[in-house]
Amino acid sequence: MNKNNPAGSVLVIGGGITGMQSAIDLAESGFYVYLVEETSAIGGKMAQLDKTFPTNDCAM
Amino acid sequence: MDKCIACGACTKKCPGKKPDEYNEGIISRKAIYVPYPQAVPLKYAIDPEICLYLQKGKCGTCKKVCPTGAINYDDKEEQVTLKVGSVIVTAGFKAFNPAKLDQYQHGTLPNVVTSLEFERYLSAGGPTAGHIKRPSDGKEPRKIAWLQCVGSRDINKCDNEYCSSVCCMYAIKEAVIAREHLGKDCRPAIFFMDLRSHGKEFEKYYNRAKADGVRFIRSRVHSITEIDQSGTLDLRYVTESGDIMNETFDMVVLSIGMEAPDSIMDLAGTLGIELNQYHFVKTDDLSPVATSKPGIYVAGVAQGCKDIPQSVMEASAAACSAGISLARARGSLVREKIFPPEKQITGQEPRIGVFVCNCGVNIGGIADVPAVVEYAKTLPGVTYAEENLFSCSQDTQDKMVEVIREQNLNRVVVAACTPRTHEPLFQETLRNANLNPYLFEMANIRNQCTWVHSDNKEIATRKAKNLVSMSVSRARLLEAVPALSVNVDKSALVVGGGVAGMTAALSLANQGFPATIVEKTEELGGAARDIHKTWQGQDVQKFLKDLISKVENHPDINVMINAEITGASGFVGNFETMIAAGGNTSIVRHGATIIATGGQASETDEYLLGKNPNVTRWHDLEHNPDKLKKAESVVFIQCVGSRDEKRPYCSRICCTASIKQAILAKDLNPGADVYVLYRDIRTFGDREVLYKEARNKGVIFIRYSLENKPVVQEVEGGLEVLVFDPVLQKKLAIQADLVNLATAIVPHDNEKLASLYKLSMNEDKFFMEAHAKLRPVDFATDGLFLCGLAHYPKPIEENIAQAMAAASRAATILSKPSIQVSPLVSQINAEKCIGCGLCVSICPFGAIELEEIEGKGKRAKNISASCKGCGLCASSCPQKAIDMLHFRDEQIVAAVIAAA
């Protein structure tokens, strides 16, 4: 990779809540993002949770 | 994949079966499946391991029943090569498998479940539709026990020595929700070692749970046995005072910890990044998201156990790091979609097109869709109606664009599924057909109609007609809402010049966005000036000196010291802040605002602080560690001013900080007696190793309760500390040369700043983020961000990550010349407004202000860029002077009248 002429794209490995947030921030600030997830849907472990503490908001 | 419209016909007929991973194997799923109904992308996938066709060449049913020809058995895995400038590892974790621990009998006793399984039982979308049932007999359990630290804080078997950081809180949450589901008869009990509620608002949650009937028992359960195959479980445990207890429960939940995923070893090898001894990605405290390889960053549990908000912060921090390293390539690979020009429709008679979707058999198999189409044609304003097999498929979308143009339609109604998933798609179709996207209305005749009336065609058809009539009535009154965009000033204002503020400013300036730091004292540095080492031993003062030098020498950072903010106005992209410094007041224009006003260790008059020179606070000792050399007996007292009535929160950093000093005391003088008087030890995550090290080195830990606090008194020759030891069941008198107090971390006085920028604070006077889990650095008002101790007490590595996160969020605004904001905002009729100001006080986003109109007095004025369209102002205005665009009273009333 040429340091002075880098590619304007980022690979994010893992499509859970963390990977999605990284991807959103990067895409919204002008970078092309490849979000790679090994299962057939993004969402990760958080999608399995019913509610979240301390607000009891629905996790989904 | 493009052809799949997720109608679900395939999965209904599929003969394959396998335990459903999403539901933790409690139920099974088919070979062709979506993991869950809300999955993104909502596309069915074939599991090749159990697909009969792929395994044996038989079956092929899904291909036969698929109405859109979306099944392709020949699809093969492909290797693709991507050229990227940076990589972020967010590989997450795997849940600990408790089968390895035979004392818990998971997998043998049906009523012993994991916490993740219990989440699925609680979920309305889960295998029992949210009804908690015992797996053995389907009965509702009454007594449920949670067992903490399963797979964490232990090295007896194949578990882990670290704390998983989240289990205490999720166990409390599950207990509270279980009680909501099962009613007052439900008696939850949590067996724990130390209760770790060290996050923002966590302690209050714990206190509420205690008050609400959740029992907390400080003990590690020895064994679980089933009584006479009845499903009832007998738990054997020892109380703190040494009594052996047996108690029966209907169900046991194992609070399983987190581990690095199996795939991380290969991934780390491929990427060439180092892992730590637990196989989490290795980082430094002072560069918390950087891996050992430049350009590769890590965030979330892949780096170590943490909760969701911390993971989200790190996610943004990693994005910030990538943004810095690729700053010059920003925008080089992204394209914006361009739509054809919008047609003006103002003043035209409504020409409504109604498209009724069959959704395969989802709607068409139940309601009489042709009858709904014929009915739609009779409604006033409707000039065209048709049915589609799948309105959302690409070919139908293309056709819809043609129809809109040919028929010269100026409003469109689609009667199909839910706008939640499909409205953006159809709005784009309108834009492609030269129409404003808000000339669109959706009638949900699937989820709210055919799915709930699947047994009655007549009722379903009647309701579908009714829903279409409501949508058409509303559509007649829809108006084009022009897009709203605001220009962006590409600079930021950072309030506070501590580590968080400086890191945020530097992270922005290094991406080319100028920043102004406003520091109220005479020097940069903040609370970090009192810390000498991070928990893993990195030199904080060296780091701080370096950071200050970078900030002061950066051409794009303007530092204002002895400065105070005296006025603020504006909105996202366009703030104006008045700053008084050195006798002058200047106005700074900025596109984003970062609040990093910090915090400090509190004072106390407890335990002789200030009265005896040998009573210190932990950071006094941090500056003067030599005191420990001479002391033969040192007592640390934890939770001084934290976790009490006045400050019902945990200060998060003190357990780790004091234990570090206790270890130092032992290292400097191995013969010294070192005591830590604590309430719960909260060395979360890998910090648990410090707790273990301290015990190994002979530091004595004595637990005290809030009701029975220690007493420090002066005696001849020094100090004496009296404390009740719950293990020995005795009151101890400890002679001490030095008493060190972990006083609470408190925010600075932020009242004025909060009122200037209209920011909310919690009861403890920490600033409130927009969402506790998902928006941990955003304020509710756009363009304002939060980081550091002003948010909540946290260690330096978390402050750095949060500051970088705030910079990342700010960069999403500053990187654009202008930003699109939702145009669905409030509209104020100045003629009707009486200037009462109710709307100003009720608006949660600071989006309405009062302005002086000459000769009329004050009138409300909306700040469109800050408005979220929630409608609180409109519904509370006593004069009915406020209406919401796209949700005008008359538009809503028209739909209601049509329904009646």
- For residue A46, give the chain B residue with the closest CA: B308
Crossing angle for the helix pair B457-476 and B369-377, to the nearest 10 degrees: 30
> Is A31 within 8 Å of B41 when comparing Cβ atoms?
no
Residue A58 in domain: no
Residue A26 in domain: yes
B328 chain-A contacts, CB cut-off 8 A: 4-6
Which of residues B637 and B856 earns the better pLDDT score? B637
Judged by DSSP in three states, B202 sits in helix
Q: How far is B79 from chain A (nearest CA, A)?
A: 13
Q: How confident is the model at residue B846 (pLDDT cuts 50, 70, 90)?
A: confident
Q: Answer yes or no: is pLDDT of A1 > 60.
A: no
B588 vs B18: CA distance, rounded Å: 62
Question: Model confidence over B143-190: pLDDT tens digits?
Answer: 999 999 999 998 877 779 999 999 999 999 999 999 999 998 999 999
Between B626-630, B737-741, B832-836, B878-882, the lowest mean confidence (pLDDT) is in: B626-630
B713 vs B699: CA distance, rounded Å: 22
For the entire predicted model, the pTM comes to 0.91
B176 vs B210: CA distance, rounded Å: 10
CB neighbours of B456 closer than 8 A, spacing ≥ 6?
none
Say if B821 is an interface residue toward chain A (CB within 8 Å): no
Alpha-carbon distance values, B420 to B478, B662, B756, B896 (Å): 19, 55, 36, 20
Is the separation of the CB atoms in B186 and B178 below 8 Å? Answer: yes
B896 vs B900: CA distance, rounded Å: 6
The pLDDT value given to residue B79: 95
Which of A48, A55, A56, A60 would best serve as a mutation to test chain B binding (most B beta carbons within 10 A)? A48
Between B87-96, B550-559, B737-746, B860-869, the lowest mean confidence (pLDDT) is in: B860-869
Chain length of chain B = 900
Judged by DSSP in three states, B712 sits in strand
> Is A14 within 8 Å of B93 when comparing Cβ atoms?
no
Record the tokens describing residue B897, joined without a space. Answer: 């009248």
Of A22, A34, A49, nearest to B318 by CB-CB distance is: A22
Range of the domain at A23: 8-52
pLDDT above 90 as % of chain B: 88
Which of residues B781 and B499 earns the better pLDDT score? B499
Q: Answer yes or no: is pLDDT of B24 > 70.
A: yes
Nearest Cα neighbor of B141 from B97, B104, B188, B108 is: B188
Q: Does this complex have an ipTM over 0.95?
A: yes
B583 burial type by CB count under 10 A (0-12 exposed, 13-18 middle, 19+ buried): exposed
Q: How confident is the model at residue B652 (pLDDT cuts 50, 70, 90)?
A: very high
B640 vs B112: CA distance, rounded Å: 39
- For residue B22, give the chain A residue with the closest CA: A48
Say if B808 is an interface residue toward chain A (CB within 8 Å): yes
CB atoms within 10 A of CB B218: 17
Rounded (10°) CA dihedral B299, B305, B306, B307: 110
Q: Answer yes or no: is pLDDT of B599 > 80.
A: yes
Longest dimension (CA), chain B: 100
Record the tokens describing residue B456, joined without a space. Answer: 């009655």
Is the separation of the CB atoms in B665 and B672 below 8 Å? Answer: yes
State the alpha helices, DSSP H only, in B42-82.
52-56, 61-65
Residue A1 in domain: no
- For residue A22, give the chain B residue with the closest CA: B315
Residue B465 phi/psi, 5-degree rounding, is -60, -45
Alpha-carbon distance values, B764 to B567, B643, B750 (Å): 24, 11, 11
- For residue B315, give the chain A residue with the closest CA: A22
Cis check: omega of the bond before B41, within 30 degrees of 0: yes
Record the tokens describing residue B91, joined without a space. Answer: 């590989």
Q: Answer yes or no: is pLDDT of B554 > 80.
A: yes
Residue A59 in domain: no
Q: Answer yes or no: is pLDDT of B2 > 90.
A: no
State the Cα angle at A51 between A46 and A54, rounded to 5°: 105
User: Ramachandran region of residue B161, left (φ > 0), alpha (ψ -120 to 50) or beta?
Assistant: alpha
The pLDDT value given to residue B582: 87
Q: What is the DSSP letter of B209?
A: H
Residue A16 in domain: yes
> What are B579's strand-pairing partners?
B565, B586
CB neighbours of B802 closer than 8 A, spacing ≥ 6?
B313, B317, B500, B776, B777, B787, B788, B791, B794
Nearest Cα neighbor of B702 from B609, B635, B604 is: B635
Of B319, B772, B774, nearest to A22 by CB-CB distance is: B319
Q: Answer yes or no: is pLDDT of B96 > 70.
A: yes
Judged by DSSP in three states, B303 sits in coil
CB neighbours of B593 closer than 8 A, spacing ≥ 6?
B492, B493, B495, B575, B577, B757, B783, B784, B785
Record the tokens describing residue B85, joined without a space. Answer: 């400038």
Record the tokens describing residue B752, joined without a space. Answer: 């004025």
Question: Model confidence over A2-58: pLDDT tens digits?
Answer: 567 899 999 999 999 999 999 999 999 999 999 999 999 999 999 999 999 998 888
B697 burial type by CB count under 10 A (0-12 exposed, 13-18 middle, 19+ buried): middle
Question: Model confidence over B133-143: pLDDT tens digits?
Answer: 999 999 999 99
The DSSP-derived string for B130-195 is T----TTT-PPPSEEEEEEEETSS--SSS--SS--SSHHHHHHHHHHHHHHHH-TT-EEEEEESS-
The pLDDT value given to residue A3: 63
CA atoms within 13 A on the CB side of B598: 25
The pLDDT value given to residue B361: 80
Q: Residue holding tokens 């509420």?
A: B208
Would you tell me which residues 196-225 of chain B have a C-beta closer than 8 angstroms to some C-beta of chain A? 199-202, 204-205
Question: Model confidence over B249-263: pLDDT tens digits?
Answer: 999 999 999 999 999
Is the separation of the CB atoms in B71 and B10 below 8 Å? Answer: yes
CB neighbours of B383 closer than 8 A, spacing ≥ 6?
B351, B352, B353, B407, B409
Residue A12 in domain: yes
The DSSP-derived string for B307-324 is -HHHHHHHHHHHHHHHHH
pLDDT above 70 as % of chain B: 100
Residue A25 in domain: yes
- For residue B271, give the chain A residue with the closest CA: A13
Q: How many domains does chain A have?
A: 1
CB neighbours of B563 closer than 8 A, spacing ≥ 6?
B518, B519, B520, B579, B580, B581
Of B85, B202, B315, nearest to A9 by CB-CB distance is: B85
> Is A53 within 8 Å of B263 when comparing Cβ atoms?
no
Q: How far is B373 from chain A (nearest CA, A)?
A: 35
Q: Residue holding tokens 């934290």?
A: B642
A37 chain-B contacts, CB cut-off 8 A: none
Record the tokens describing residue B269, joined without a space. Answer: 């090898």
Residue A15 in domain: yes
CA atoms within 13 A on the CB side of B815: 27
B522 vs B499: CA distance, rounded Å: 15
Nearest Cα neighbor of B390 from B366, B425, B410, B360 is: B360
Record the tokens describing residue B426, joined without a space. Answer: 């159809």
